[in-house]
Amino acid sequence: MTTALGRGLDAQAAALREERCGLHDRGFETSTLQTWIGEVAGLDQPLPAAWADWDCRNNRLADIGLQQDGFDAAVAAARERHGAARVGVFMGTSTAGVQQTELAYRVLEDGRLPHWFNHRTSQNVYAVADYVRLRLGLGGVCSAISTACSSSAKVFASASRAIATGQCDAAVVGGIDSLCLTTLYGFNALQLISPEVCRPADAHRTGLSIGEAAGFALLEPDRGQAPLRLEGYGESSDAHHMSSPDPDGRGAAAAMGDALRRAGATPDSIGYINLHGTGTQANDLAEDKAVCALFGRNMPCSSTKGWTGHTLGAAGIVEAVFSLLCLRDGFLPRSLNTRQVDPLIESAIVLESRRQPLRRVITNSFGFGGSNCSLVFGTAA
């Protein structure tokens, strides 16, 4: 995984332990918008010449992500085991390569988009999935999912179904979303951007901070040897509002309940919940109602968006990886930047990070339009 915290799992785990925030005041391309941004360093370097047709910020970010933690080597080994045509690719993204289109419109040539702009390999939502497939030398089923902020959580569900039904024997899942002005000013127009650092569940929270990230995982059928497992997934749709969640949290509760059922788990077998926790008024309250309805008021939970910002289409994979790190390390991260919990929030928000052995965790990703996905991860019993 690559986020504003750095490149690779070690950088992410160290930031959680050290409570080091990856958000910075302003940055990227904007100086007129007062906000905090989770920007990944080093994205000014173009892709290698052989991949020049695919060059854009989103694919650069994907390329960096693929090079971390020996992931490309792990995929190569899976390709040898199963065959390239039997390894699928399932990528989540939201804004995809919109920034490349923004750059193209700045330099219109006689009213036309410049010759170097290629929509198919940049802004097209499928572009990053196709790029990842080609970069890894895979020839199996390839899919891009774009359901806003639940995109790269839902890839786990889609890949699991594809493996179960014999469409592939293994799958690369992940998510990539990069910064662009359309996102920043769009969320600002919705009055969801905070002028200060994101403070999930805080009594005085003022909205979200936007970040960018790339993350990947390799899924294979469990042969009884995997130390970390995807045990269940749950999906639901609120159909409540284009950009606001059901205030009673019914869709969120349905997704979490569905994930528990698939995992064969009970609420009291979960040791920690990684909240969607955007830091907006509506999301935090709705999710709190859903958590309390299923788990009661004593379940430890926190949002990790205070570290990375909201990475939109990559949020699902980012928080899946954080959840897996929590399982691996026996660690509960506090809700970074949260100073005073909103008295209307009744969940047990973790305000001080602590060590604690974990058997199962659940992570939530809820997108615009009421697209909800929850994932249960566990360790070998």
Candidates 149, 168, 198, 373; catalytic one: 149
Q: What span, in angstroms and rounded, lies between the C-alpha atoms of 303 and 273? A: 9
CA 236 to chain centre: 17
CA 12 to chain centre: 14
Annotated catalytic, 310?
Answer: yes
Q: Which pLDDT belongs to residue 225?
A: 77
Residues 6+ apart with CB under 8 A from 163: 88, 169, 170, 171, 219, 220, 221
Annotated catalytic, 149?
Answer: yes
Q: What span, in angstroms and rounded, lies between the C-alpha atoms of 279 and 194? A: 9
Candidates 292, 310, 326, 373; catalytic one: 310
Alpha-carbon dihedral angle through residues 363, 368, 371, 375, given to the nearest 10 degrees = -10
The model's pLDDT over 243-265, given as tens digits with 9 standing for 90+, comes to 677 888 899 999 999 999 999 99
**Cβ(36)–Cβ(222) below 8 Å:** no
The model's pLDDT over 310-330, given as tens digits with 9 standing for 90+, comes to 999 999 999 999 999 999 999
Structural domain that includes position 371: 2-379
Residue 163 has pLDDT above 90, yes or no: yes
Q: Which pLDDT belongs to residue 31?
A: 65
CATH number of the domain residue 27 falls in: 3.40.47.10
Residue 272 has pLDDT above 70, yes or no: yes
* Confidence bin at 30 (pLDDT 50/70/90): low
Candidates 21, 56, 142, 276; catalytic one: 276
Nearest to 65 by CA among 154, 153, 160, 132: 132
Q: Which pLDDT belongs to residue 109?
A: 85
Least confident of 152-156, 244-248, 275-279: 244-248
Nearest to 276 by CA among 332, 229, 322, 340: 322
The model's pLDDT over 31-45, given as tens digits with 9 standing for 90+, comes to 688 999 999 999 999
Least confident of 104-113, 147-156, 218-227, 340-349: 218-227
How many domains in the chain? 1
Q: What span, in angstroms and rounded, lies between the C-alpha atoms of 178 and 59? A: 9
Q: Which pLDDT belongs to residue 243?
A: 66
CA triple 258-264-266, angle to 5 deg: 80
Q: What span, in angstroms and rounded, lies between the C-alpha atoms of 4 and 35? A: 15
Q: What span, in angstroms and rounded, lies between the C-alpha atoms of 270 and 260? A: 9
**Does the model's pTM come out above 0.85?**
yes
* Confidence bin at 198 (pLDDT 50/70/90): very high
Positive/negative CA dihedral, 241, 244, 247, 251: positive
Average pLDDT over every residue of 172-194: 94
Please report, rounded to a whole number, the percentage of residues in the chain having pLDDT higher than 90: 89
Annotated catalytic, 56?
Answer: no
Q: What span, in angstroms and rounded, lies between the C-alpha atoms of 37 and 211? A: 6
Bridge-based pairing of strands 2-3 and 371-379 is unpaired
Query: What separation in angstroms does the CA of 304 have from each of 25, 162, 194?
Result: 18, 30, 16
